[in-house]
Amino acid sequence: MNWGDADFVLVIVGICTAGWLINNWIRARHGYALEDEWGGKTEPASKAVNERLAEENAQLRARLDALEGRAATLEAIVTDTGYVTAAQIEALRDGRAKDAA
């Protein structure tokens, strides 16, 4: 192998990349912080963070379900014919008139 050849450079780059990958795999497997490309550390998420995110996710899903129900109601009102809606309003007015009397 010629020391100044492009193949030698590619072998060195390959060895360095493989070493970096193996190092990060071992660190991730054992729960150590991983290094990013600028030398900073990325901490793995803790159980408390995961539980908090799961709780927030559940709250957001419940809120989404409520909003979907409201959207379905509004959709029914918008697509409903005016006659049925007017009849329902009149029925509500008749109910109030009977309660007031």
Predicted pLDDT of residue 45: 65
pLDDT, one tens digit per residue, over 28-75 is 888 777 776 666 676 666 778 888 999 999 999 999 999 999 998 888
Q: φ and ψ at 33, to 5 degrees?
A: -65, 140
pLDDT for position 37: 66
**Paired tokens of 54:** 């799961």
E strands, 3-100, are 34-35, 41-42
Fill in the DSSP letter of residue 44: P
Identity of residue 42: T
Instruction: Scan for tokens 């009849």, then name that residue.
Output: 87
- Residue 101, pLDDT > 60, answer no
CB 1 within 8 A of CB 7: yes
Dist. CA 101–CA 90, nearest whole Å: 17
What are the residue boundaries of the structural domains of the chain, listed by start? 1-44, 47-101
pTM: 0.40
